[in-house]
Structure 1
Amino acid sequence: MATTLGDFVQITSGHPFRGRIESNKDGDVYVVQMRNIDAEGRIDVKSLTLAKSVRENSLDRLRQNDIVFIAKGSNNTASLVEGLTKDTVCAPHFFHLRIKPNKQNSILAGFICWQLNQKPAQRYFKVSAEGSLQVSIRKKVLEETPFVLPDLETQRKIVNLHRCSMKEIKTYYRLIENRQLEMTAIASDLLNRLDKST
């Protein structure tokens, strides 16, 4: 049977801030904005802005294993909510996804994120995006995203494999960066010696 994302998650809009989100030391919520999503799609919780909420609504507070989805712009990706210790919301540029209560024992939030970030879903978003100056994904479009649900064991294997691959990529980039620094140091030392000998 064909399934869609909306069969498994509740989707709500981000917190309705008006205009620019201003930092406020007396604020009551931290805010996930697009700039807080790192290159690997993770939320950098240490860089969140403390702001004053527009309304008192505990329902839009992010919880562990919720998902935020970038709805505005051309980079429509999903990020898993992890490591939050304070009241936090997502900006209006996001949709807030939460697994439905009756689906929590059959699907992993990490698997949802992984599938939304894969090529089939990304192609669907590119075709379905609307707008001229700034493209966006409507809630209905996100709800109707085609979704494949394997058994939990398969989901766990995929999520673990993805995490391992991301760690490997990070390690490779570090090795490349270290090698470049090493080569720069060698070149600098060599050129300094040449300068002194002339």
Structure 2
Amino acid sequence: MTIPLPRIAEIRSGFPFRGSIEEDKKGDALVVQIKDVSRESGPDWPTLTRTRLSGRRPFPFLQDGDILLPIRGGNYFAVHLATVPEPAVAALHFFVLRADTRRILPAFLAWQLNYGPAIKHHLWRVQAGSAQLGLRRSDVEGIAVAVPPLEQQARFVELAANIRRQQDIFRQQIANADRLLHGLAASLHGQERKNA
């Protein structure tokens, strides 16, 4: 059964900073910006800018389980925040999704946003012919999500996590093999210089 995204998740914009984000080492929150987030590992928490928030209160702090969806650039991916280590807000270039956990697991929703063919097709279709790549709220609200029983969602999430761990191992093995090949080549050149 597919359900429109707004029926299973709250969708809100990131925090609207006035002007540039000013660093303040004693500030009250971290700011998640697009440059700080990767699809594979999420936010790089230790390198985030700390700032002092102003404006509307209470501040829309990120919570464990929230999902970040970048809205600029044409490379759309969902990032599930399993844990948010300290007060943080998302910059305006994100939509923040907060799943209704009685109906859908946040990790399952993020997985489906990243890999669901209907979702990818929908986002591609709304971008077709657009001069500037970016998602509007109505684009995101138009996403329909499959919502199987929670137990089945949990099995999908576990399987996806196992596959990601295997991918990480393969990437590390490829990097190690590449270093070995470079080392062998450097060693060969070193021997050639000695023999010259």
Fold match by TM threshold 0.5: yes
TM-aligned CA deviation for residue 123 of structure 1: 1.9
In structure 2, the partner of 1:112 is: 109
Show structure 1 runs of 5+ residues with no match.
none
Question: How many residues get paired?
Answer: 195
Please identify, of 54-63 and 178-187, the stretch whose mean Cα deviation from structure 2 is larger: 54-63
Instruction: Tell me, yes or no, if the aligned pair for 1:41 and 1:77 is still in contact at 8 Å.
Output: no
Instruction: Tell me, yes or no, if the aligned pair for 1:16 and 1:54 is still in contact at 8 Å.
Output: no
Instruction: Tell me, yes or no, if the aligned pair for 2:39 and 2:79 is still in contact at 8 Å.
Output: no
CA distance in 1, matches of 2:81, 2:57: 18
Within-5 A mapping of 1:1-198:
2-40=2-40, 42-58=42-58, 60-100=60-100, 104-118=101-115, 119-129=117-127, 132=130, 134-198=132-196
Instruction: Tell me, yes or no, if the aligned pair for 1:130 and 1:137 is still in contact at 8 Å.
Output: no
TM-score, normalisation: structure 2: 0.91
TM-aligned CA deviation for residue 83 of structure 1: 2.7
Instruction: Tell me, yes or no, if the aligned pair for 2:8 and 2:103 is still in contact at 8 Å.
Output: no
Give me the identity figure in percent. 29
Q: 1:17 to 1:137 in 2, by over 3 A?
A: same
Provide the alpha-carbon RMSD of the alignment. Answer: 1.9
TM-aligned CA deviation for residue 98 of structure 1: 1.0
